[in-house]
Each structure stands twice: as C-alpha cells, then as structure tokens.
Amino acid sequence: MSDDSNKVNTDLFKNIERLRQLRIEHRDLDDIISRLSMDFKVDEVQMKRLKKRKLLLKDQIARLESQQIPDLNA
C-alpha cells in the first residue's frame, strides 16, 4: 500500500472519528437544552450560548458529512 493511500485512510478515519465526536456533543447539548428549558429560573444568556454552540456543531457536522460524499465530477 502506498504512502498516499495510507494518508487517505488515516484522514478518512480522523474525519469519521471527529464526526462521531461532534454528533455526541450535539446530542448531549440537545439533552441539556431540553432539561434546562423545563426550568423557569434558567439563565437565558446561558441558554442562548448553548443553542448557538449546538447550531455551530450542526454546521460542522454538515460540512464533514458533505466531505464524505464522493465528488461526482471526478
């Protein structure tokens, strides 16, 4: 196996692992936001930060997922 294909496999594995970590963090944030939304005394600034972080994670996940799709023009 050539060095190029080893690098491709390593990069692919890193991307898949990063995607898995982002999905876990996104799911955890979703759970936290759901629980906090039931509390009437919730800090709205904290809630906004959590929601913003969740959206950022969603964007990162979408970007990584789109990189996994092979280029049809190749």
Q: Identify the three-state secondary structure at position 10.
A: helix
Residue (of 20, 10, 14) closest to 61 by Cα position: 20
Give, for all 74 residues of the chain, the pLDDT tens digit: 567 667 777 888 898 999 999 999 999 999 999 999 999 899 999 999 999 999 999 999 999 998 887 766 65
CB 60 within 8 A of CB 22: yes
pTM of the shown model: 0.78
**What residues contact 36, with CB distance under 8 A and at least 6 apart?**
42, 46, 47, 50
CB 37 within 8 A of CB 47: yes
- Alpha carbon distance 36, 23 (integer Å): 20
